Structures are given as C-alpha cells and as structure tokens.
Chain A
Amino acid sequence: MIENIPLPATDDPVDATFWAGTRCGELRIQTCQQCDQMRFPPRPMCPSCQSQESYWQPVSGRGRVWSFAVPSSPLLPAFEKLTPYVVALVELEESPTLRLIGPVLHSVGGEVSGVEAKDVRIGAEVTVDFKRYSDDVAMPCWVLGK
C-alpha cells in the first residue's frame, strides 16, 4: 500500500488545463466551443453536439453539497491519519449537473482533518479553496459557509 495520498496525473492533455487552473487558484470548467455547454469530468468530445473544440471557463467556485461520505478504517495510511474527515459531492452554482468531489474544510486554508458528519448537511452552501498536495497538484476543497 502506498504511504501518501494518491495524486491525480496532471499531464494528460484532456484535463491538464483544469489542474493548471487550480494551481493558480481558479476553478476552470471545460466548455464546448460550438454549443457552449459546460462538461465535467473533461473529455475530448461534447456529448451534446460532438464538437471536439473546447475552451476553459472560470466558474464562481460556489456550490451546494449534493451528498457526502465520512470514511473510516480500513483506509490507506495517509487517509487513516486524516480521520475524521468528510468528502462531499458538490453541485456547482452554474449548473446542478456539474458535480465535483472534494474534501470539506471548516475555513479557507483549513485542514481536511477534523471535520465530522455533524458539521455538514445536504444542501449546505460551500465555496472552493485549493490545497497544495504537491508541486503540480492543488486540490479543490470545499469550505463550509458562504
């Protein structure tokens, strides 16, 4: 078992711009050049109009908790050390079908560890924050409260 938190590959041309965005504090959503539909997770073709041309649009970073889980043992060692923590699926303000997963934080710049089920509720308003996991990974996290 690996000792660290697993990290996303950030050099895939399909989503490298997403991770470049998070590194500079921006949540960017892939958007179709032809029909302007936003899509997530990133992919090479628009499922609405089949265009392969897209651009990346910064979004507000505001959303609501669709649901959440509170994982506990047995976990990878790095996650064991973080318990208790909460992971939320958040629907973005821009469109309820754009849903991103991220750890929940009590405050901007706060810790993943120390958040419990009682702190979070379905429908809660959250705002994105970015946590540096490595040189190339700034992980979108969700901060409770407006």
Chain B
Amino acid sequence: MLKDRTAIVGIGETDFAKRLHDTEWGLACAAIKAALDDAGIAPSMVDAMGCFTQETTPEFEIARSLGFGDVHFFSQTAHGGGAACGVVGQVALAVASGVANVGVVWRSRKRGDPGKRQWAGVQERVTDHWKWSRCQGLLRPVDEIAITARRYMHDFQVTREQLAEVALTQRAYAANNPKAIMRDKPMALDDYMTARMISDPLCLFDNCLESDGAIAMVIVRAEDVNTATQQPVYIHAFSQGLSPQHQLMTDYHGDDPLRSSSYTTAANLWRQSDIQAQDIDVAQFYDAFSPMVLYCLEAYGFCGRGEAASFIANGGMSVTGELPVNTSGGSLSEVYLHGMNLLSEAVRQLRGSADNQVAGARSALVTTCDSTPNGALVLRGA
C-alpha cells in the first residue's frame, strides 16, 4: 500500500495576482525552485516529475531550465480541476515503488487575461463531447455547474442565502491571508445577494477567481525524510475516481447526475485510510464553483445527502467550526490554480504554519473537481 510511505517535504509558491508579468514557464521554474529550497534538496537530485495535461510547458523544458540530472519518471494527469491530487498521487506511487527517488509536481497558470479563458477559445465547429452542450448554449463551466446546482437546490430546498455561506466563509479566511487576491475585499450577505448573475442560479461570487501564479511541491520516500531539516507531511491515502457513465463537466448521463465521480473517489480513499471522515481536522475542497463544496461535504461522508447546507450554516466550515474548509480562502478568494493552492494550504495546516491555523490539526483531506474525473488525498502531519 501507498499508506505513509511518501511525504511532501517542500512547497513553493509564486506571488498570486490577477496579472503577473512572468511567463508560465518562468513562474513554474520559480515555484519549483522555491519548493526545492523549502525541502533543502538540490535540483540535480530530482528524478520524477508530474504535472497536468493542461500544463503548457513540457517537462523537458522544466528539467533543463532547473538543471535536473537524469530523470526516471514523468507523468501528466488528465484534465484541469480534477488533476491536482492525481499528479501528487502518481508521483508518490513512482517514488514509493522505487522507480524514482525525488519527485516534483507543479501547476503554473496565467488565467487572469480574459482571452485565456477556455470558453473564449471555442472554435466554429465542436468535435468532442462538448458538441452536445456548448453549441446548445451551455458555453462555460459555470453554465455546466448551474445545471446541477439548480437541481440540487431544488431537490434539497437549498436557498441562495445558504449557498452564500461558502463564499462568505472563504472571503473571511482570505482577510487573514496576506497572499490572498481578495484579502482586502470583505463581503457581506447583501453583497452576495445583490451580485450580478453569471449563470442563474450562480452569481459572480459563486465563481472562482481568474488569476496568475504557480505552485510546486517536493515528494520523497518516508525513510528519506530528514526530520532535522524538513517538515514532512505524509501521504496517507490516495485515489482517483471516474464514475460509471461519467462525462467531463457535463456529467449528466449517469443514473443520478448528482452522484458524481467524487463518490467513486471517496469510497476507495476511505477504504485505504486509517483516518476516516470523522477524524479529519481540516478539509480543502475543490471550489471552482461554490456548490462543489456542498457536493464534497456529502460525497466524502461529512454529512448525509442534502444536508451540506445545514452543515455549513452558522459557521460549520469556519476555523472553529465542525470542519474548517478552504482555510486559505480557496479558489474563490485566494487564487485559482486548479486546486494546487488547496494542497499547499493543507501542507501548511499540518505543519502548523497556516494563516488561519486550525488548532492541533493532524489530518487533512484534499479533493479535486467534483464534476470531472477527479482524485483526493488524505494527508497526515508528522
């Protein structure tokens, strides 16, 4: 089993902003170097690499920029929001099995420019599965999630006031995070309720930020951790998930479209984990859109189906709540980097160095996009 055999020993982040001057290539190099410095490991020691299929800079450009030596493993995990935990998990598997010794994973992205939004690049003719939705008017990811969100809110009588709790809580977290893009933009319920709709029933504040930045991490075998110089966070359990009849983003064709790939991931994750949902101290739920936080609370077993809105009412996801969630401000209020910021925040929480530190946090759950093929990790502090 993979359980506790590898550890994250370095995290590195660039600045986060609506617009950074450096290229995605340059930002990736800076984040990876920062992560290696944090781990105290020389670039020449790296021999495993993992990134997203949506990463624009190929692994060889990264390797020869940073001065890696002989590299023995490189992989890409499919898609965007669903990939982050898969990237870490796959490199961890390679390192645990002895194929390689020192792994780096990264995501670098410049999305602040409106022209970089994927929907803006839709072509005259659609040839893939999006021919069944984009041409019909579900153009953007927010439109795709508005479909499930409306049905979820209808089936479980969830109001916009209740959904607002996700955006409001994460904005409050961002206020204490000097790196959060929205740190100086407090939000009240009235701001949320009067915000413009982007795809009814989802308003502006139900959407993640469009931003620039890069994040990287370093993974080694547990027996190679130097506890004198490194602060390891152990990879306790990992799974990816692809549910029957799943379709990327427009996941509408299974028996129950509200039962996503997160349910597949969760079952296999908890099967491998000594730490169960009730033991988790802090969670980082992928939040490109606020309803995904509610979906994850239910799929990963923190509450029953349709009960997530009640769970987060009155501060359930706040730092003193039943389960602190997205404590850096997350994709809604810190930065949108396809969930890599959720992973680095989980590591900080388990090191005890987070801006919104959960007292005594020893275990963390990190998930990825509910509506794509996805993955999740259970992380354990030293």
Residues of B within 8 A of A55 (CB): none
Band of interface residues on B: 35 or more
Does the CB pair A103–B136 fall under 8 Å? yes
* A66 and B257 contact, Cβ closer than 8 Å, known pairs A6-B125, A71-B140: yes
Q: Let me know if A69 and B147 touch, CB within 8 A.
A: yes
Within 8 A of A (CB), among B228-284: 245, 247, 250, 252-255, 257
| CB-CB nearest in chain B for A67 | B151
| Chain A 52-90: CB-based contact to B (< 8 A → 1; otherwise 0) | 000000000000001111111111100100100101010
Using Cβ atoms and an 8 Å threshold, which residues of chain B touch A122? 150-151, 154
CA distance A49 to B254 in the complex (A): 17
- Cβ–Cβ contact A2 & B150, under 8 A: no
Closest partner residue, chain B, to A133 (CB atom):
B135
Residue in A6, A40, A69, A76 whose Cβ sees the most chain B Cβ within 10 Å: A69
User: Given the complex of chains A and B, what is the CA–CA distance between A131 and B200 in angstroms?
Assistant: 24
Known A-B contacts A76-B122, A101-B250, A122-B151; A69 and B127 likewise in contact (beta carbons under 8 Å): no
Residues from chain A with a CB closer than 8 A to the CB of B196 are 72
Determine which of B123, B151, B254, B257 lies in contact with A6 in the assembled complex, contact meaning CB atoms within 8 Å: B123
A19 to B134, CA, bound (A): 16
Question: In the complex, A73→B147 CA distance in Å?
Answer: 17
Q: How many A residues face the partner with a CB closer than 8 A?
A: 41
Smallest beta-carbon distance A102→chain B, Å: 5
Bits for A107-146, please: 1 = Cβ < 8 Å to B, else 0. Answer: 0000010000100001000000000010001010000000
Residues from chain A with a CB closer than 8 A to the CB of B139 are 71, 75-76, 79
A5, A7, A12, A101 interface centre (most CB from chain B within 10 Å): A101
**Provided the pairs A72-B198, A100-B132 are in contact, do residues A2 and B253 lie with their beta carbons within 8 angstroms?**
no
Q: Which residues of B contact A137 (CB under 8 A)?
A: 135
The 8 A-B pairs at the shortest CB distance, nearest first, are namely A8-B131, A69-B146, A70-B200, A67-B151, A87-B137, A9-B127, A101-B136, A67-B150
